[in-house]
Amino acid sequence: MHCREFETLSGALLEGEAHPEAYAHLASCRHCRLVLDELGAIERAARSLPLHEPSPRLWDRIEAAAVAEGLLPDPAGWGWFGMAVSWLPARPAFAGALALMLLLATGLVSYPIMDLPVAAVVPADPIEVAQSELVQEPSYDSRYRVHLDRVEERVLDESSPQEAEFRQLVARPMEVVDDAIQQTASQLDEHPDDSLAREELHRLYQQKATVLQAMAESSWYRDGR
């Protein structure tokens, strides 16, 4: 038997098939013994390869997708943002930024909420209600909006060209949120006492703040700022 013929049988030998003529060749050929040993070593090593870890935020994507599909109950804080996270591709570099983003976003949106006088939320007197809506509500919403516009402007100014890909990714969700904000704000203009619309508007502002913060943090994260 020649080495070339042995080569075609070596796979079968590793599978445990008996080929007496191949054994005879092995006894006399150092090269083929080495090849067979090495193929066997590869087979053995393949059984204990190291495990790899998925992207650290993969669970967030899975959870968001499972919630969207109704496979898991909606935990507090998910909803639109969770869906947005599940759309994003795996980007390990954003993991830290995303965690920080959530903290900062909470701070960002809680600022105007905490600043809102309690009387404007639970007014006791109908006259007070009218007054508080006239005085407080426009100022509250406009402050919110001005604040977000300022953040958006700054984020877009500061983002580097490398961020184009991320900006592209968030462009669609951002557009959806902006449209929803516009619609809800018009609804509120027509029906200023529509508390559901107001609640929805605040929720939308929060979502926008979250996306903006994600963009800002991704720049800072990458640039080491």
Where do contacts with other proteins occur on this chain (CB under 8 A)? 3-4, 7, 10-12, 14-15, 30-31, 34-35, 37-55, 58-59, 61-63, 65-66, 69, 71-73, 75, 89-90
What is d(CA 217, CA 221) in angstroms, rounded to the nearest whole number? Answer: 6
Q: Which of 12, 222, 212, 10 has its CA nearest to residue 101?
A: 212
Amino acid (1-letter code) at residue 108:
L
Nearer to other proteins, 52 or 225 (CB): 52
- 144 touches 167 (CB < 8 A): no
What is d(CA 204, CA 188) in angstroms, rounded to the nearest whole number? Answer: 13
Min CB(1)–other proteins separation in Å: 14
Amino acid (1-letter code) at residue 120:
A
Min CB(94)–other proteins separation in Å: 13
Min CB(209)–other proteins separation in Å: 26
Amino acid (1-letter code) at residue 111:
Y
Nearer to other proteins, 148 or 169 (CB): 169
Three-state DSSP at 203 gives: helix
Nearer to other proteins, 55 or 187 (CB): 55
Min CB(8)–other proteins separation in Å: 8
